[in-house]
Amino acid sequence: MIEFDPHYRVRPRALFLLEPRANGTWARQRLTSYVQELAITSLIKPHALRDCYGPFPFGARSREGAVDPSKAPNINGAADCARNWVSVVSEIVGRTDIEGLTLLPFADFVRSGGGAHLHARRMWCRRCLQEDIARGQLPYERLLWSLRQVVVCPLHGDLLDCICPHCGRSQTNELARDCLPGHCGFCQHFLGDERTYDVVESESVATEYQLWVARDFGNLLDMNSDQIEGASHENVRLMMRLAIAKACRGRPQVFSENLRFGCETVKNWVGGWRRVSLTVISSLSWIYGVPMRAWLLGEVDAWNRCCVRELPLDIHRDSDFRTRSYWCDWGAVGARILARLESDQPPRGVTDAARMENMTAETFKKRLPDVYLRVRDAAAERRKASSAINRSKLRERIRVCIEQLTQEGQPPTRTRVATRLGRGLFPKGERIYWEEIQRFNG
């Protein structure tokens, strides 16, 4: 067989072609959104790309080692799941920069392969998606929105959404269902629209701490490859020693109290026996006003403009709460929670009640089991009552749509009713629709 010189060989062509959005910047696209857009622009369905190309650890039930779609957020992390996806996607698109769409560049600073740093649900900023459409592009979802600590858009200052403005449902990520980028996987509507009248709008406003964290993580993702290579745990330990010397008067105990960790844990960090995660570095960034990238790169000049601030009350540490539990008046804590339960604004659930007292839901369940059960059951009853009210409203709207379509001379099919409602019928509305159709025809 004739063998050609390597100089004259033609490299194999990639199966697909798509350039990642804003790669290398704070607004970089995340890998799940990139795979979804890759499928749409290639005129195939996302599940076909997901299941048929490469050893994806997701989706194909017949393939050994397949993972449930609810675990898909880890694809944007820094564990083996993300590495497998990056390897396969890099091969089919012929690119070497796909790793930047995940947390793999920061793998040394994330815990549990990044799973502890990622939202379990799909998050987005409505105004960012609207701006993508205004520029004549397909909307895409940012890697920054996947980070659990980020709940605010650093550009617009709006709280991130996790519920579809049309059908009111949330989902794990883009690849769980076939849909266009920036659209709901259930009702297929645009996620950047304003919320409909039957979805309650949140009145909460982003706090200064939330804005700081969002912009701090944005600056972290804005680091180039040379800066990421220069980041090290040795730099973090150096910055910790400077924090103790300059901001804590040389007392490690003050440093641990500001961070709400035990002195032994801080000793292990400074001594290099334990690694510091991005979550801890983010807290240190807020407390002393020194950005996270300065901690990772060892920028000692940042301490010339440092400050000392307290963490919000809802940022707590289990170890710190256990050390204080021996003197905590648990009877008074239970009485306060029960008083709130009987008030006009009861806690939404056990997690909300625990946050009101600056503790975790696990500590709440362990220390006050009876109060925990009462709060849980009361929240379940309120959700049940609210569900019944929403169900009756949906039934009335479906009945009106059927009557309007009949008066217009059109058959009231489920597709026409769903279009008239502006939302999907599945799963609750499907049953109501058939009940109303039988009653209407009867």
Contacts of 322 (CB under 8 A, 6+ apart): 363
Q: Identify whether 364 is part of a domain.
A: yes
**Shared-domain flag, residues 229 and 279:** yes
Q: Residue 397 belongs to what domain range?
A: 382-441
**Is there a contact between 121 and 114 (Cβ–Cβ < 8 Å)?**
no
Residues 285-296: tens digit of each pLDDT = 999 999 999 999
Question: Rounded to an integer, what distance in angstroms lies between the CA atom of residue 48 and that of residue 144?
Answer: 27
**Residue 186 has what pLDDT?**
82
**Is there a contact between 152 and 37 (Cβ–Cβ < 8 Å)?**
no
**Residue 64 has what pLDDT?**
43
**Shared-domain flag, residues 345 and 396:** no
In terms of Cβ atoms closer than 10 Å to its own Cβ (0-12, 13-18, 19+), residue 191 is: buried
**Shared-domain flag, residues 386 and 371:** no
Question: Rounded to an integer, what distance in angstroms lies between the CA atom of residue 135 and that of residue 187?
Answer: 24
**Residue 79 has what pLDDT?**
81
| 42-61: average pLDDT | 66
Q: Identify whether 21 is part of a domain.
A: no
**Shared-domain flag, residues 109 and 38:** yes
**Is there a contact between 189 and 182 (Cβ–Cβ < 8 Å)?**
no
**Residue 419 has what pLDDT?**
77
**Residue 241 has what pLDDT?**
93
Task: With a cut of 70, say whether residue 357 has pLDDT above it.
Answer: yes
Residue where one domain finishes, among candidates 117, 141, 163:
117
Q: Identify whether 146 is part of a domain.
A: no
Which of 86-95, 224-233, 307-316 shows the lowest per-residue confidence on average (mean pLDDT)? 307-316
Q: Identify whether 131 is part of a domain.
A: no
Q: Give the model's confidence band at 426: pLDDT under 50 very low, under 70 low, under 90 confident, else very high.
A: low
Q: Identify whether 340 is part of a domain.
A: yes
Question: Most confidently modeled of 106-115, 152-161, 329-338?
Answer: 152-161
Q: Identify whether 140 is part of a domain.
A: no
Residues 164-177: tens digit of each pLDDT = 888 778 877 777 67
Residue where one domain finishes, among candidates 98, 117, 136:
117
Residue 402 Cα distances to 208, 238, 408, angstroms:
49, 69, 10
Over the chain, what is the mean pLDDT? 81
**Shared-domain flag, residues 323 and 368:** yes
Residues 65-76: tens digit of each pLDDT = 444 444 566 788
Number of structural domains, the chain?
Answer: 4
Which of 56-70, 87-101, 350-364 shows the lowest per-residue confidence on average (mean pLDDT)? 56-70
**Shared-domain flag, residues 372 and 386:** no
**Residue 13 has what pLDDT?**
58
Residue where one domain finishes, among candidates 305, 333, 362:
305
**Is there a contact between 35 and 79 (Cβ–Cβ < 8 Å)?**
no
Q: Identify whether 404 is part of a domain.
A: yes
**Shared-domain flag, residues 400 and 433:** yes
Q: Identify whether 250 is part of a domain.
A: yes
Query: H or E stretch including 242?
Result: helix 233-246
**Is there a contact between 175 and 431 (Cβ–Cβ < 8 Å)?**
no
Contacts of 22 (CB under 8 A, 6+ apart): 28, 29, 142
Task: With a cut of 50, say whether residue 197 has pLDDT above it.
Answer: no
**Is there a contact between 73 and 173 (Cβ–Cβ < 8 Å)?**
yes
**What is the CATH classification number for the domain harbouring 272?**
1.10.260
**Shared-domain flag, residues 84 and 106:** yes
370: its two tokens: 């009876």
Residue bearing the bigger pLDDT, 248 or 167: 248
Which of 173-177, 230-234, 246-250 shows the lowest per-residue confidence on average (mean pLDDT)? 173-177
**Shared-domain flag, residues 388 and 366:** no
Look at residues 158, 165, 159, 173 and name the one whose alpha carbon lies nearest to residue 190.
165
